[in-house]
Structure 1
């Protein structure tokens, strides 16, 4: 079984395959679009989706592809106006999906299928779009609470939808999902710091940077001084706190819900590695993906724990 996990890249055929997931025609191309998009933009989410039960797997791929489509708008447009137009397309698309009139677009078509199958809550989908739209302002978070709010409205909303794909409605699972989503948003912000800094952009909470006397220029030039590490330590510590809070609900969370929380493996891995790097967010060891994560994801899914 572990061998199968190591070879996740083979779990879906390539573009040259005559048969994609046992589907044919236009449907095969839709599935292939999702697979290629996620493997290139959200590999960890892609692997996590493959570990879900068959009835939720395809819908999870659709939701994660939707999330990727929105997430990449900010970095792919040169003007905010264009980004706003893209977001408006998705707002309109969601309304059309819930009228059973999805636009002729790969992600929209699969999202429509997921909505019909699982009766997904429209509010969560629209909340993700609205928060991503606000993020087009392209400025640093004023404080950690602002980053947490962004994470709640994007990452936590996505997990709520994954729980719905699994047919689960449980208040304890929702509480855990809220904290895991916040942890994921914080970790994503940290992981992306070297990339953003190379483009002369810094999004880390300003209040924590000011507390330690770290300027945006320190991050732009890739400083590895102690004050920069202290900023990373404080932010990473808050992600860890959210993971601990999420686990405090574990005794009351249905075992099936744990499959929606597999991303905790990825979050733990990064937090452990940045700690070993003494909170140097620019350390070379953080540039590469941990090849053991797929195995760890499989083990966690088998144990049904988070």
Structure 2
């Protein structure tokens, strides 16, 4: 691993432990490309944490669009950007997927509530599902297209679970990713959810969102045994989702105040088991 690649891996390890661990189970020759893809995802996901207003975030997203649309050599001076441009070139990744990803991420910069569960699934599809599919194309471009639907369900389960784990942060800064129609079915508005309604409505909304993530996880697990071993590392971040959802299901109200987590030892064991045996 080169020095820049090592720096990118270290950055990913700090920002996204689950995806970092998943790369360690990929073939050595594919790891740098996966590190660059996941580091890009982590960097875009962190933009909201670094800005006070939406406009600087929009400018940052536009910078990435310009870099990814440019010819070879773009992104020099920015290790993650330069590595990603090289990854796209070497693996012939579709630039349209990155464009759609960046468009979807505009939502993160504003405080508009998520309109509906369909909109949430679309957001997850353009972000987490796209990252899984791109990782699959890096690992095995011939086999990956046949598993696009599986990547869709995997990405929705992964992303919705991640949003549930980030509920305390999102609520503190006025963001509502829980869809408006789910909140309505629980008898509350996005404003009431963010304010912390004193009754059980917020808990019911969390339970309904956990159920949505669980539905996508079940749809993934139904066909996961057919996943070729060569593509398995692209889906490995999903391996820990059942543990997170189990914890969220046991105490939905706690998700409003604290992030559901698992120990590093358990995370390693779950990832190792999935990498070795897949999903059965």
How high is the TM-score relative to the length of structure 1?
Answer: 0.83
- In 2: Cα distance, 1:119 partner to 1:248 partner: 30
Q: Which residue of 1 aligns with 2:101?
A: 128
Q: Which residue of 2 aligns with 1:165?
A: 138
CA distance 1:117–1:288, change in 2 (3 Å): same
Is 1:138–2:111 an aligned residue pair?
A: yes
Indicate if the aligned counterparts of 2:133 and 2:151 stay in contact, CA closer than 8 A: yes
Indicate if the aligned counterparts of 2:196 and 2:202 stay in contact, CA closer than 8 A: no
Q: Which residue of 1 aligns with 2:80?
A: 107
Q: Deviations over 1:153-177 (max 9, x none)?
A: 0111101110011123344421110
- In 1: Cα distance, 2:243 partner to 2:13 partner: 19
Given the alignment, which residue of 91, 95, 104 partners 2:65? 91
> What secondary structure does 1:248 align onto?
helix
- In 2: Cα distance, 1:179 partner to 1:102 partner: 33
Indicate if the aligned counterparts of 1:60 and 1:162 stay in contact, CA closer than 8 A: yes
Pairs within 5 Å for 1:173-252:
173-216=147-190, 218-220=192-194, 222=196, 225-252=199-226
Give, in angstroms, the shift of residue 94 of structure 1. Answer: 0.3
> What secondary structure does 1:157 align onto?
helix
Is 1:40–2:17 an aligned residue pair?
A: no
For structure 1, list consecutive stretches of 5 or more residues without a partner in the other structure.
1-20
Count of residue pairs brought into register by the alignment: 277
Q: Deviations over 1:19-57 (max 9, x none)?
A: xx4x3xxxx0x2233123212211111111112111211
Q: Report which of the two has the higher share of helix.
A: 2
Q: Which residue of 2 aligns with 1:13?
A: none
Indicate if the aligned counterparts of 1:258 and 1:305 stay in contact, CA closer than 8 A: no
> What secondary structure does 1:92 align onto?
helix
Given the alignment, which residue of 89, 92, 99 partners 1:116? 89
- In 2: Cα distance, 1:282 partner to 1:136 partner: 21
Give, in angstroms, the shift of residue 275 of structure 1. Answer: 1.3
Q: Which residue of 2 aligns with 1:256?
A: 230
Indicate if the aligned counterparts of 2:135 and 2:234 stay in contact, CA closer than 8 A: yes
Q: CA RMSD in A?
A: 2.1
Q: Which residue of 2 aligns with 1:303?
A: 277
For structure 2, list consecutive stretches of 5 or more residues without a partner in the other structure.
none
Give, in angstroms, the shift of residue 251 of structure 1. Answer: 4.5
Indicate if the aligned counterparts of 1:38 and 1:46 stay in contact, CA closer than 8 A: yes
CA distance 1:248–1:217, change in 2 (3 Å): same
- In 1: Cα distance, 2:272 partner to 2:120 partner: 30
